Amino acid sequence: MNQIWVDKFRPQTFDQIIGQDNFVKRVKAFIESKNLPHLLFAGAPGTGKTTTALVVARELYGEHGIKGNFLELNASDDRGIDVIRNQIKEFAKLKSLANIPYKVICLDEADSLTKDAQQALRRTMEKYSSSCRFILACNEISKILDPIQSRCVIFKFKGLTKDALVTILDKIEAEETLKFDDGVKEYLAEISKGDVRKLQNTLQAAASINFNITKDGINEIIDFVNPKEVEEMVDLAREGKFEKSRDLMIKLRSIRGLSGLEILKEIYRVILKLDVDPKLKIKFIDKLASVEFRLVEGSDEELQLEAYLATLALLK
Ligand SMILES: Nc1ncnc2c1ncn2[C@@H]1O[C@H](COP(=O)(O)OP(=O)(O)OP(=O)(O)O)[C@@H](O)[C@H]1O
Ligand SMILES: [Mg+2]
């Protein structure tokens, strides 16, 4: 189980986007007319906003044309609106090489921008509107300034219905070796509350423990953090069972929502209690401190944690 299912099962075409037929039809029509307005995708997490923006780019430019014609930015980038504006400027400056006379900029989490930053964004949108189309994505449309809203065609994404979520589970079942107990798909769909990301992450975590998916198995995943899990993750890593250990780490992050630093804190507790040569213990802790330093500096959390799990197996 090497790939995260959220990525593995991310729709690549409009046909693969489940349960949002209404939007898909409207967005498709814009693309066919080659006349794309600015779009504002608003709504609950894990409902397909970013996914739809990516499909729009793929449909317009083809897989190979995406690079150079599509720019993905995250508005919650804490380097601020000036960095974002500069990136947009640099990107818009180069001529589009595709047949389409404009490029597409997707700005995720646009609702995290302050009012002032949104004013700046609005001016930027105006300045580049002849050469760029913007797709803004946000959770809360009420946080987006009216003058920005009025420049966009708005799509309000709702949580997926239970039926749509079960369809997604059927697809995953067809591609992975999984066996669902009766009624468990419906149960998982119910507790995911319309959020596909939550649905896929919960299922992947349950499947990493047991490919037979039961209601108890799911409940175990969505329970509160169990310190035993961190212990188990450390033990698995030390036994050289890297993949299993990593699956658990992913579960702690994606399902329980623990941050990298929170996981490190738990690992520290486990290591203090380990019954090993004190010299080895010191090596474990020393390494942990350098991983912590890198996380605070903003390195990729998953990569750093993976590296640490690998270290646990290697240090002797
Ligand atoms: N309508 C859908 N059909 C099939 N899969 C979906 C759908 N919506 C989301 N997914 C799956 O869920 C994952 C997360 O979706 P996506 O990133 O598009 O959510 P989002 O709406 O942008 O959420 P956020 O508000 O958190 O940014 C995707 O990678 C994909 O696997
Ligand atoms: Mg998104």
- Ligand 2 centroid vs 7 CA: distance in angstroms? 12
Question: Cα–Cα distance between 60 and 55 in angstroms, integer?
Answer: 8
pLDDT over threshold 80, residue 2: no
pLDDT over threshold 90, residue 200: yes
Q: At what angle do helices 242-254 and 301-314 cross, to 10 degrees?
A: 150
- Ligand 1 centroid vs 281 CA: distance in angstroms? 42
Question: Cα–Cα distance between 12 and 168 in angstroms, integer?
Answer: 14
pLDDT confidence bin for 258, thresholds 50/70/90: confident
149-171 residue pLDDT tens: 999 999 999 999 999 999 999 99
pLDDT over threshold 60, residue 311: yes
Is any atom of ligand 1 closer than 6 Å to the C-beta of 45?
yes
Q: What is the average per-residue pLDDT within 247-260?
A: 81
Question: Cα–Cα distance between 115 and 256 in angstroms, integer?
Answer: 32
What pLDDT is attached to residue 27? 93
pLDDT confidence bin for 55, thresholds 50/70/90: very high
Substitution candidate for ligand 1 out of 12, 50, 195 with most atoms within 8 A of CB:
50
Nearest CA to ligand 1 atom 7: 48
CA atoms within a 13 Å half-sphere pointing along the CA-CB vector of 27: 30
DSSP state at residue 142: G
Question: Cα–Cα distance between 308 and 154 in angstroms, integer?
Answer: 44
Is any atom of ligand 1 closer than 6 Å to the C-beta of 196?
yes
Taking ligand 2, which is a single-atom ion, which protein residues have CB atoms under 5 Å away?
49-50
Is any atom of ligand 1 closer than 6 Å to the C-beta of 197?
yes
Q: What is the average per-residue pLDDT within 27-53?
A: 93
Is any atom of ligand 1 closer than 6 Å to the C-beta of 217?
no
Helix H or strand E encompassing 39? strand 38-43
Is any atom of ligand 1 closer than 6 Å to the C-beta of 254?
no
Q: Which domains, and CATH codes, for the chain?
A: 20-157 (3.40.50.300), 162-222 (1.10.8.60), 227-314 (1.20.272.10)
Q: Which amino acid is at 233?
A: M
Q: What is the mean pLDDT of the chain?
A: 90
Tokens 């809203």 found at: 149
pLDDT confidence bin for 81, thresholds 50/70/90: confident
Q: Quick one: how many helices (H) and strands (E) in the chain? A: 15, 7
What pLDDT is attached to residue 95? 76
Q: What is the average per-residue pLDDT within 249-256?
A: 80
- Ligand 1 centroid vs 255 CA: distance in angstroms? 15
Strand partners, 282: none
Task: Say if CB 263 and CB 249 are below 8 A apart.
Answer: yes
Q: Are strands 212-213 and 179-180 parallel, antiparallel or unpaired?
A: parallel
pLDDT over threshold 60, residue 1: no
Backbone angle region of 3, left / alpha / beta, with phi > 0 → left and psi within -120 to 50 → alpha: beta
185-199 residue pLDDT tens: 999 999 898 999 989
pLDDT over threshold 70, residue 224: no
Question: Cα–Cα distance between 187 and 277 in angstroms, integer?
Answer: 47
pLDDT over threshold 80, residue 77: no
Percent of the chain with pLDDT over 90: 65
- 160-174, 212-226, 259-273: lowest mean pLDDT where? 212-226
Tell how far CA 152 is from the center of its chain.
Answer: 24
Contact partners, residue 210, CB within 8 Å, separation at least 6:
217
Residues, the chain: 316
Residue by residue, DSSP assigns 101-115 as SSEEEEEETGGGS-H
Angle at 6 between CA 163 and CA 232, to 5 degrees: 110
Task: Name the more confident of 2 and 15.
Answer: 15
What pLDDT is attached to residue 225? 53
- Ligand 1 centroid vs 160 CA: distance in angstroms? 10
